[in-house]
Amino acid sequence: MEKFTIHKGVVAPLDRSNVDTDAIIPKQYLKSIKRSGFGPTLFDDWRYNEPGEPGMDHSKREVNPDFVLNKPRYKDASVLLARRNFGCGSSREHAVWALDDDGFRAVIAPSFADIFFNNSFKNGFLPIVLSEEIVSKLFEEVEATEGYELTVNLEDQVVVTPSGESFAFEIDDFRKYCLLNGLDDIALTLKHSDEIAAYEEKRKATSPWLFN
């Protein structure tokens, strides 16, 4: 997994609440058996004027100029600013893969759906919860200033604005540790193999039907 320490990047504002995973990456692209290549189809229905299918050359499709991510000023954005309950809907990790593949490293919102939130950490992608109030303020600043950048400092758990204002965010110690070090959590869990095996033996004795 890619490490996440400090990231500074242009912010793109996606001003809608309840952005669901079907919108982030439509189902037709889930037929891929790969983990990469989802970037060009991120927000596909909003991004292009015509429906897309897997296997198309997406660079040749007509883009919807009104969609915020298509505006030239957000072309190089790597931090997404969103409203509440971002990532609701399905468990598809393809949503995170698509954001990551399109160059995003972090998303800021007042709240996230649980599965999306969880999936993010597995991919070196940081979901940051800030209050509704701060998020609204950031929306205003981003929209008012072309090239607006935020610095996300994971070590210190702060988001810093161009004027130097900083907002603290919470993160679990374990997740922070994995992100900062780019650790593979399967390897970490397998260090506890003995405990897992011991648990299994105990359960087999009391509830053998779970192992049929």
Partner 1 sequence: MAGKTLYDKLWDAHVVRQDDDGTALLYIDRHLVHEVTSPQAFEGLRIANRPLWRASSILAVPDHNVPTTTADRGNGTAGISDPISKIQIETLNSNCKSFKVNAFSMDDIRQGIVHVIGPEQGATLPGMTVVCGDSHTSTHGAFGALAHGIGTSEVEHVMATQCLIQKKMKNMLVRVNGKASEGVTSKDIVLAIIGKIGTAGGNGCAIEFAGEAISDLSMEGRMTVCNMAIEGGARAGMIAVDQKTIDYVEGRPFAPTGEQWEAAKAAWSDLKSDDDAEFDIVVELEGKDILPQVTWGTSPEMVLPVTGNVPNPADEADSVKSSGIQSALDYMGLTAGQPINEIQIDKVFIGSCTNSRIEDLRAAAVVAKGRKVASNVMLAMVVAGSGLVKKQAEDEGLDVIFKDAGFEWREPGCSMCLAMNADRLEPGERCASTSNRNFESRQGQGGRTHLVSPAMAAAAAVSGHFTDVRSL
Q: How far apart are CA 86 and CA 185, in angstroms?
A: 24
Quick one: CA torsion of 9, 42, 4, 108, rounded to 10 degrees?
60
The answer to whether 201 contacts partner 1 (rule: CB under 8 A) is no
Minimum distance of partner 1 from residue 30's CB (angstroms):
5
Considering the complex, state which of residue 94 and residue 105 has its C-beta at the smaller distance from partner 1.
Answer: 94
The answer to whether 186 contacts partner 1 (rule: CB under 8 A) is yes
User: Contact with partner 1 (CB under 8 A): which of 38, 74, 93, 148?
Assistant: 93
The stretches of 113-192 forming alpha helices (DSSP H) are 114-121, 132-144, 173-181, 185-190
CA atoms within 13 A on the CB side of 93: 12
Q: How far apart are CA 145 and CA 14, in angstroms?
A: 15
User: Contact with partner 1 (CB under 8 A): which of 7, 8, 20, 151?
Assistant: 20
Considering the complex, state which of residue 116 and residue 148 has its C-beta at the smaller distance from partner 1.
Answer: 116
Identify whether the C-beta of residue 167 lies closer than 8 Å to the C-beta of residue 143.
Answer: no
212 Cβ neighbours under 8 A, 6+ residues apart: none
User: Contact with partner 1 (CB under 8 A): which of 3, 63, 76, 114?
Assistant: 114
CA angle 194, 198, 199 (to 5 degrees): 120
User: Contact with partner 1 (CB under 8 A): which of 63, 147, 174, 180?
Assistant: 174
Q: Which stretch binds partner 1 (CB under 8 A): 81-89, 99-107, 143-151, 152-160?
A: 81-89
Candidates 185, 184, 180; CA nearest to 7 is 180
Minimum distance of partner 1 from residue 158's CB (angstroms):
20
The answer to whether 134 contacts partner 1 (rule: CB under 8 A) is no
Tokens representing 75 are 């072309």
User: Contact with partner 1 (CB under 8 A): which of 7, 30, 39, 153?
Assistant: 30
The answer to whether 41 contacts partner 1 (rule: CB under 8 A) is no
Binding-site ranges for partner 1 (CB under 8 A): 16-18, 20, 22-23, 26-28, 30-35, 45, 51, 54-55, 83-85, 88-94, 96, 111-115, 118-119, 122-123, 172-174, 185-186, 189-190, 192-193, 195-196, 199-200, 203, 206-212
